[in-house]
Structure formats: C-alpha cells, structure tokens
Structure 1
Amino acid sequence: MITLFLILWPVVVSLTIFIFRPKISKQIALLASLVEFILSLVVIFQFDGSGAAAFSMNIPWIASLGINFHIAIDGISLLLVLLTTGLMPFIILSSFNGPRQNSPNFYALILMMQMALIGVFTALDGFLFYVFWEMALIPIYFICLIWGGENKSRITLKFFIYTLAGSLLMLVALLILYYKTPGQHSFDIQALYAAGRSLGAAEQGLVFWGLFLAFAIKMPIFPFHTWQPDTYTVAPVEGTMLLSGIMLKMGFYGVIRWLIPMVPLGVTDWGFVAVLLSVVGIVYASALAIYQQDFKRLIAYASIAHVGLMSAGLLTLNKIGMQGALIQMISHGILAFALFYICEIISVRTNTRVIASLGGLRTNAPILTTVLMIAILGTVALPLTSGFVGEFLLLNSLFQYNFIIGATGGLTIILGAVYCLRAFQYMMLGKNTTTTTSISDLTGNEKIVLYPIVILIFVIGIHPDPLLKISEAAVGDLLELYVNFSAKTK
C-alpha cells in the first residue's frame, strides 16, 4: 500500500494545484515533496535487505489482456525511489526565488513528473512500465517548452521525437515478448522473462536492440545523445535538474530490470557493442566538454561522459560494475543538481554563462566558490567524495572485462579534471571582469539548498556501505538469473 501511496500522493497534490491554483502553490509542492521523501524513508526503515520485492500490490487492471497494476520495491528500485524523492524537494526549493515561483502549472507538472518516475521504478508489469515511461515524458516536455530558452520549440520537439521513437521500439519489443508468453498472454515481468529466455539468439538480439535503443536514448549514450546538449542548455534549470538528476536514470533502470534478465543471449551477443559505444561516448563527450564556452553546456557534455562510464560498467555484467553503476547514479544525480544550480546562480547574477566572460568570482563569493569546488572534486572522483566510490567500482569492473576498454574508460577522470578545473580556474580565480565586480555570495535560501548536498557528497564518499547494502541482494539475484541461464545454454 505504501508503494501505491508514493505514486498517488504527487498526483493528488498536482491536480489540486492545477485545479485550484493556490497562491501558495510552491509551498504546497514543497510540503508534498517532503511528505513523499519521509514516506521513502519509512520504506528504507522497513526494508529487510533481501533481494525479494516487497511492499507489493498486484491487482487486475485489464484482465482480458493480461495487464495488472503490479508494483513493488526491491533494493534496486529503492535506491532510485530514494534519489527521486530526495532530490525533488531541493529542485522545488531552488525555484523559490526564480521567475517560475508563482506558476501553479509549473509545480503541478513537477509533481506529475515525480509520480511517473516513481511508477517507472516500481512497475513490475510490462504495459504498466511503458505507461509510466511515456507519462514521464509529458510533464518534462511542457516544462521545457513553456519555460525554456531560445529556440525552445525546435529543440524540445527534437527531444520529444527522439524519446518517443525509442519508446515505440520498446513497445514493439515488449509486444513480441507478450505474444510469446504461454496460454493467456501476460505482461507480468516474470512471464516476460520466461518468454524472452525461450527465444533463440537471433530473436533475442532483435528484442535486445528494441529495448536497448529506448534506454540508450534516455540515458543518453553515443551516438543517441544528440538531443541532450541542446535540451539541457535550453531547458529551465529545474527541467535540466529533472532530466539529468533523475530522468536519465530511467534508462539505466530499464537495462537492469528489464533488459539483462529478459534477453540474456541478446546481451551476451551484443553487450560488447553496447559497451564499446558507451566508452566511445566517454572520450567523445569529454573532448567536446573541454572546448565548451558555455558553462551549462559544458556540464551537459560532462554528464554524457559520466553516463557512458555507468553504461559500460553496467553492461560488463559484473556485480562490482552493477553496484558501481547504482551508487554512481545516486552520486551523479546529486552532483548534476549542484552543478546546474550553481550555474544558474552565476548566470542570474552576471547575466552570462560564458566562461571567458567570468573571472574573480572568488573575491566576492567565497562560499559559492567553495561549494562549486566541492561539486567539481566530486565530479572528478576525488577520494572521499561520492563520485569516487562509483567510478572506482566501475573502472574496476571495466578492467576485469577488458584492459583496453578499462584504460579508455579511465580517461573520464583525466579529461574530467581538465574541463572541470579549467572552468573553475577561469570563473573563480584571477581578476574580476566587468560582469563579476558586484556579484554577491550565496543567499540564505541558496545555502539551505546547497549545504545538504555538500554534506551528502562527503557522507556517500566516506561511508557508502548503507547504499551498497540496500541493492546488494537484489543485484546478486538478478545476475544469478543471467549466469544460470548462460550456463544452461553452453
């Protein structure tokens, strides 16, 4: 029942804000998100740490088609539910002094987005998963279209078409499996697992690409990333936070929950190609990030590079890599939020995001400089920060998989240091420019948003064990399914 409440609560509040349009809509949205976060903490305290799904609800929805409203939470989904509910209050609070602070529609769409994200991470019915997947696209589309920047219509349409095309491929793949389920066809996840494993290698390969392309576009990885830099740059900062901090994790979750256990032969045959594309994306995006002059666009390319590492490590089908990908999703969400928010603060104060036009910010904004430095150190995986834990596990997994791929993937740390420290040097050090002479430091509201993020960066980096233990059993069970099937087919 608590899983259902996690899904329904944001919907109820969202509709209330949309219909009644209260003047305190931002406060209501913040309170609703805090309630949602507290509920997720209740789930953590009641979670037994086993690999089995808990907090389950499974009721007929469209019984004649074998479609159920089946939702549950295990260790893998719990981490992503926690990321969603944990970041959402900060995203809402970060908008309190911005141009969208008095827009009920804006906050209603954010809460509707939260509902869809929770649904994606808890759905155990293929059709229900697809419905929530599509529902997540609608709010973010309107957030970007209505409150985006220059050329928002063209860029948002490109993002919509990319994502919709991937979703249709996923639907086709799920329908193939649905019609392969025995007896009365079913979209239940276990029935789809069985149907996928019953296919031959060639058929599993087709299903693999149908699902993987949908997930690859959402992450995104090379060469399916071209919608991302423009969308992240043009979207309002809250939309960029939603996209980068949470929404792209839908793609990783899809690979873990649906792709790997469903078509193991397809993963075996085509996994190396997917790993190779991911690693190419690391180098490609990092190289482009070095040459970016717009700070927000630099962060967007940095996100692609880190996504490539997570994707590559995940597809090594190694427990270390999968655990590393999961904890890196949490870290990436936190760090991306911090970087995009700081970028917005600088942009609002100086009316520019051009790195070369900034300089000497440290003089008048020492606290802002310190917080940015911590976020950058986490991004370049400095030990004792959250970024180090995931990247260490991911690179460990990649080196076990293939030394050359591991060495290439390791460039993310070296190149990341280049573009991050270069940007920090130009913006924060040196002499003041005409745009930074009178910049002010962090306000009280901004400190309330950023200080907890800084604490999380260090807490996760110093003591990641609680997060790793949450997902450990579920990851082990999932990989056991893959290994057992592979052993039978040899």
Structure 2
Amino acid sequence: MDLLFILFFPLVVALVALINKNYSKESALIGSAITFFYTAALIAKFHPDSSTQFLVNYPWMYAFGINFKAGVDGINILLILLTNALIPLIILASYRHKYGNPSAFYALVLFMQTGLLIVFTALDGFLFYVGWEAALIPVYFICALWGGENRIRVNLKFFVYTIFGSLIMLIAIVYLYLQTPTHTFDIAAFYNLTLSGTEQSWIFLAFFLAFAIKMPIFPFHTWQPDTYTEAPTAGTMLLSGIMLKMGTYGAIRWLIPVAPLGFVQWGKWALVLAIIGIVYASIIAFRQKDIKRLIAYSSIAHVGLIAAGIFSWNVESLQGALIQMLNHGINVFGLFFVADIIIRRLKTRNLDELGGIAKNAPKFAIGFLIVLLGTVALPITNGFIGEFLLLLGVYQYNIWAAAVAGLTIILGAVYMLRMYQKAMFGPSNELTLKFTDLDGTERSIFMVVGALIIIIGIYPQPLLHLSDAAVTNLVQTVNAKIQSVKF
C-alpha cells in the first residue's frame, strides 16, 4: 500500500486542483509535498539489498497475462526520490507565472508525476509502456498550451520523435510477450527468455531507439534544444530534470538485461554515439547566446556521459550513472530556474544583452554560482562524485573512450563559466540596472538546491549504499548470461 499511495496520490491531488480552481497551485504544492515526505518515509524503511521491496502485484487484464506489478529496489529508488523531490520545487518555482487556466496546468504536472513513477517502478512490460505514454501526454499539452510562439511546430517534432520510438519499443515488448511460455509481460519472464543472438540484436535496437530519443543522445537529439527553448520553464524542468531519465533508466532496467547478446553486438556503438554527443553538444554550446539553448546543449553533453557509463556496464559506471541521474536532475533544475529568473525580470534570453547583474543581485549571483559549480563537477559538489564514478567505469571499459568522455568536464567548465561571466560580471546596462535580487520564494528554492548540491558532494555514501547491492547483482547476472554463451 505504501507504493500505491505514492503512485496514485498525485492523481487525487490533480483532481482536487481541477475542482478547487481558486487554490489549484496551493493544492498542487501541498499535495506534492505530502508525496515527497511519504517517499522519504518509504526510503527510511528500505533495506539496501538486491531484493524488490514494497511489491504490488494485482491481476489487471488476466486473460492477456497483464498484471499491475510494481516495486522498489536499488535501481529505481533514487529516481523515485528525484521525481517526488523535484515536483514540489517545480510547482513552487512556477508560482510567479500567470498561467491561463492554472488548474489544468498543475493537474497536468501531477498527472505526469504518476506516469513517471509508473515507468520507474513497473515490473510488467505492458505497465511500463502505459507509464511511458502517460508521462508523454501531459508534457505535450503543457508545452503546446503554455509554450512560446513556435510551440506548435516544435511540439509536433517532439511528439513525432517520441511516438515513433515508443511504437517500435511496443513491437519489441509484444514480441517478447509472445516468446514467453505462459504469455506474460512480467519482467522476470523477459529476463529468463532464451533468445537467439539475432532476436536479441533486433530487440536491443528497438528498445535502444526509444530510449536514445528520450535521453536524448546523438543523433536522436534534434528535437531537444527547440523543445526546451519553447516550452514554459516548468515544462523544461520536467523534461530535463526527470523525463529524460526515463531513457537512461530504461537502458539499465529493460534494454541490457533483456537483450545481453544484443548489447554485446551493439553496445560499443551505442557508447560511441554517446561520446560523440558529449563533444558535439559541448561545441555547439560554446556558440549559444540564448541561455535556455545553452543549458539544453549542456544537458545533452552531461546525459551523454551518463549513457557512456551505462554502456560501459560495470559496477562503478552504473553506480555513477544512477547517482548522476539524481545530481543532473537537481543541477539542471537549478540552471533553468536561474534562466527563468533572468527571463522574468529582463524579458530576454540573450547573453549579449546581459552583464553586471552580480552588482545589483549578490544573493542571486551566489545561488547561480553554487548551481554552476555542481554542474561543472567541482570537488565537494554533487556533480563530482557522479562524474568521477562514470569516468572510472568508462576507463575500465576503454582508456581512450574515457579520455574523450572526460572532455565533458573541461568543455562544460568553459562554456558554463563563460555564461556566468557574461551574465553576472562586466558593466551594467540600462536593462540590467533594474535587476532585483531574490525574493523569499526564490531564496528558499536556492537554499534547498544549494544544500543538496553541497551535502551530496560532501557525503554521497548513503545514496550509493542504497543502490550498491542491486547494481552489483544486476551486473553479475547480465555478465553471467554473456559468459555462458561465449563459453
């Protein structure tokens, strides 16, 4: 019942927000905060071993072998925490915006929260797909109804990309279902299938396409910068902070364990694409004058490193990938919150029109700096431990791959510090002279984000301990399958 509450309480709050329109954002904030505290209580009861806990398993469409089966283990627990921690912050960050029909806006955010949580906890292939699509629908409408002037064209591209990948993945899921002896969508049955190398190769490619689009990694990334730019800031935070983790999580939970022989054949090429994306996105980020587009390309680069760690497939790289998903969500939320403050105050996203903001807003400058240092992985910030483990894991796979992937730290520091310098320092102008410092709500958000960046950076062990046993077990299980075929 603990997990069911976390999964479906946001839906109840969404209905309350729709009915109680005068207090929709207050209802959404209080409801999401309750979900977060309930999640914290669930984590306190979690035993950090390799088992699946808080399991729910109910017949859903029994004749078709479909169950509502979900659970929590060390692979998904950090993503559940990330989702339920960021949603109240995203809602609070949107308080200063005047959305038309706010009750619908906040209801869609909460509806998306349930879709995301289903994706991260599903242990049934059909349920996983339902959650995958349920998370897409609300963010599509958030971007289409409250986005920028080019939102219709950009959103259509985003929708076509993701739906195409989703349908290919659905075909793979149905094929796996048909191969199970009892015709079931249970993930354990998928893991235990004995498929030929050719079958697993096609299964790998089908899942990989869906997950690569969602992350996104090169060359499936072209929808992302435009969508992040045109989406309302809350939509961008949802997409970058949480939704792209659906792809990285899917690769760990569904892609490689279900098709290990496909991974042997295609995994190195997936890693190459991830590393190309790191360098490509970093170079493009140098040339950006639009703050939101710069952050969008930096996100592609950082997620490329997470993907490279996943396809290196060892304990260190997977531990790094899981904690860096959490860290990236926190940091990219902070960056887009910085962008949102600048855009709301100055009505511009152009870095060339900024300068001297730190003189008028020292508290904002400090908050921005802490987020930036976490993003560039400075030691004692959250980004450092994640990127260190990722590069260590990639190094164990291939030293040259690690050398190129490591460029994300150097290049990221350059374009991020350049952005900070152009916005915060130099002479003020007529536009930035009127920039006001943080108000109470903004200070509260920066305090939470800054505290998370520093605390995780100084003492990440409790988070790593949550996933250690499950990661070790998963790596050993997949490697044993691969070795049994080789020898």
TM interval, shorter chain, is over 0.9
Shift of 1:193: 1.3
2:221 — aligned with what?
225
Question: 2 CA distance for matches of 1:40 and 1:77?
Answer: 13
Does 1:401 find its partner at 2:429?
A: no
Question: 2 CA distance for matches of 1:387 and 1:216?
Answer: 22
Question: 2 CA distance for matches of 1:99 and 1:336?
Answer: 23
* Superposition TM-score, scaled by structure 1 size: 0.98
Shift of 1:450: 1.3
Give the letter aligned to residue 271 of structure 1.
Answer: G
1:191 — aligned with what?
189
Question: 2 CA distance for matches of 1:5 and 1:284?
Answer: 42
Q: Tell whether the 8 Å contact from 2:17 to 2:23 is kept in structure 1 after alignment.
A: no
**Which of the numbers 287, 306, 309 marks the counterpart of 1:310?**
306
Give the letter aligned to residue 370 of structure 2.
Answer: I
Give the letter aligned to residue 342 of structure 1.
Answer: V
Within a 5 Å distance, the mapping from 1:44-63 to structure 2 comes to: 44-63=43-62
Q: Deviations over 1:67-104 (max 9, x none)?
A: 00101111111110000001111000011111228610
Shift of 1:317: 0.7
2:286 — aligned with what?
290
Q: Deviations over 1:250-296 (max 9, x none)?
A: 11110111111111101111100000000000000000000000011
Q: Deviations over 1:352-395 (max 9, x none)?
A: 11001100001101111111111111111100000101000111
Does 1:445 find its partner at 2:431?
A: no
Shift of 1:22: 2.5
Question: 2 CA distance for matches of 1:400 and 1:215?
Answer: 24
Question: 2 CA distance for matches of 1:42 and 1:144?
Answer: 33
**Which of the numbers 356, 374, 377 marks the counterpart of 1:378?**
374
Between 88-97 and 9-18, report the one with greater CA deviation. Answer: 9-18
How many pairs align? Answer: 486
Q: Tell whether the 8 Å contact from 1:25 to 1:102 is kept in structure 2 after alignment.
A: no
Write out the 4+ residue segments of structure 1 that deviate beyond 6 Å after TM superposition.
none
Which sections of structure 2, spanning at least 5 residues, go unmatched?
Answer: none
Kindly report the root-mean-square deviation, in angstroms, between the aligned alpha carbons of the 2 structures. Answer: 0.9
Q: Deviations over 1:112-164 (max 9, x none)?
A: 01011111111100000000100000000000000000210010111011110
Give the letter aligned to residue 398 of structure 1.
Answer: V
Within a 5 Å distance, the mapping from 1:263-412 to structure 2 comes to: 263-412=259-408
Q: Tell whether the 8 Å contact from 2:16 to 2:24 is kept in structure 1 after alignment.
A: no
Between 237-246 and 398-407, report the one with greater CA deviation. Answer: 398-407
Give the letter aligned to residue 147 of structure 2.
Answer: G
What is the DSSP-based 3-state SS (H/G/I as helix, E as strand, rest coil) of the residue aligned with 1:56?
strand
Give the letter aligned to residue 165 of structure 1.
Answer: F
Q: Tell whether the 8 Å contact from 1:56 to 1:72 is kept in structure 2 after alignment.
A: yes
Does 1:42 find its partner at 2:41?
A: yes
Does 1:129 find its partner at 2:125?
A: no
1:151 — aligned with what?
150
Q: Tell whether the 8 Å contact from 1:23 to 1:102 is kept in structure 2 after alignment.
A: no
Question: 2 CA distance for matches of 1:254 and 1:201?
Answer: 21
Shift of 1:319: 0.5
What is the DSSP-based 3-state SS (H/G/I as helix, E as strand, rest coil) of the residue aligned with 1:320?
helix
2:13 — aligned with what?
13
Does 1:484 find its partner at 2:480?
A: yes
Question: 2 CA distance for matches of 1:31 and 1:473?
Answer: 34
1:4 — aligned with what?
4
Question: 2 CA distance for matches of 1:50 and 1:318?
Answer: 18
Give the letter aligned to residue 49 of structure 2.
Answer: S
Give the letter aligned to residue 191 of structure 1.
Answer: A
What is the DSSP-based 3-state SS (H/G/I as helix, E as strand, rest coil) of the residue aligned with 1:24?
helix
Q: Tell whether the 8 Å contact from 1:95 to 1:101 is kept in structure 2 after alignment.
A: no
Question: 2 CA distance for matches of 1:61 and 1:344?
Answer: 42
Question: 2 CA distance for matches of 1:215 and 1:116?
Answer: 16
Q: Deviations over 1:214-242 (max 9, x none)?
A: 00100000000000000000000000000
Question: 2 CA distance for matches of 1:461 and 1:72?
Answer: 28
What is the DSSP-based 3-state SS (H/G/I as helix, E as strand, rest coil) of the residue aligned with 1:459?
helix
Within a 5 Å distance, the mapping from 1:206-285 to structure 2 comes to: 206-285=202-281
Shift of 1:17: 2.0
What is the DSSP-based 3-state SS (H/G/I as helix, E as strand, rest coil) of the residue aligned with 2:453?
helix
Give the letter aligned to residue 336 of structure 1.
Answer: V
What is the DSSP-based 3-state SS (H/G/I as helix, E as strand, rest coil) of the residue aligned with 2:302?
helix
Which sections of structure 1, spanning at least 5 residues, go unmatched?
Answer: none
Q: Tell whether the 8 Å contact from 2:217 to 2:300 is kept in structure 1 after alignment.
A: yes
